[in-house]
Amino acid sequence: GQNIDQPTEMTATEGAIVQINCTYQTSGFNGLFWYQQHAGEAPTFLSYNVLDGLEEKGRFSSFLSRSKGYSYLLLKELQMKDSASYLCALFDYKLSFGAGTTVTVRA
Amino acid sequence: GAGVSQSPRYKVAKRGQDVALRCDPISGHVSLFWYQQALGQGPEFLTYFQNEAQLDKSGLPSDRFFAERPEGSVSTLKIQRTQQEDSAVYLCASSRRGRTDTQYFGPGTRLTVL
């Protein structure tokens, strides 16, 4: 397998910043996706990194370092609606997901 | 809406029954994927279609699982002689082009086998 590791849970306060790390042990992939999944709903696309570096999309940013086998998703200005599971996935035409990180945003 | 749709949303089956799960991808999307998501886990790949051709079925857990997409649009995932370990959410995803595009997911079918 690709041994994709993410923290199980994180808690943060509304308005704060949270960084979700994802580590993996493979070099054979095209890119790395981040998806958001609210309980009982479909995963929705957040970001995609092909090259090393930072991709910024509004309040969400994602970073990839292939040499370090590492990615992170940065969520800024947290809102209550950001409470969800965040899934890291390696892409080589099919997606190989980590178990997901459940983020709880508190008022 | 124009997203991926799946039916039924919920299915309860008795052990040993056959079930069929349907996926309607986004119109014009070439690629279609099935994933299985156990409680508290990330989705696991089951199978992949490009148009009507099933190009990868390496993730299907046993020969009780069968998928088809005969006309290159709607797909059906069939599970024969269901077992309790088949209980999971079955997600369908589609993408516009072949192997390189973002996958968009449907809401899933939650299968419970009693």
pLDDT digits (tens, 9 = 90+) for B22-50: 999 999 999 999 999 999 999 999 999 99
Taking an 8 Å cut-off on Cβ atoms, the answer to whether B45 and A99 are in contact is: no
The pLDDT score that the predictor gives to residue A43 is 95
Judged by CB atoms closer than 8 Å, whether chains meet at A42 and B33 is answered as no
Q: Are strands B65-68 and B75-79 parallel, antiparallel or unpaired?
A: antiparallel
- Per-residue pLDDT for A1 more than 70? no
Q: Are A86 and A20 in contact (CB under 8 A)?
A: yes
Between chain A and chain B, the number of residue pairs with CB atoms below 8 A apart is 48
Q: Which residue has the higher pLDDT, B51 or B100?
A: B51
- Residue among B109, B89, B110, B104 nearest B33 (CA): B104
- The pLDDT value given to residue A2: 66
Which pLDDT value is given to residue B1? 55
Percent of chain A with pLDDT over 70: 98
Whether the per-residue pLDDT at B18 is higher than 90: the answer is yes
Handedness of CA B10, B35, A89, A101 (dihedral sign): positive
Question: Which of A25-29, A65-69, B75-79, B99-103 is predicted least confidently?
Answer: B99-103
B43 touches chain A (CB under 8 A): yes
- Rounded to whole angstroms, the Cα distance separating A63 from A73 reads 7
**pLDDT tens-digit profile of B66-109?**
999 999 999 999 999 999 999 999 999 999 986 678 999 999 99
Structure tokens at B21: 């799960």
Compute the distance between CA of residue A91 and CA of residue A29 in angstroms, rounded to an integer: 6
Q: What was the pLDDT predicted at A84?
A: 97
Average pLDDT value over all residues in chain A: 94
The predicted pLDDT at position B98 comes to 66
Q: Does B97 touch chain A (CB under 8 A)?
A: no
| Averaged pLDDT for residues A23-47 | 92
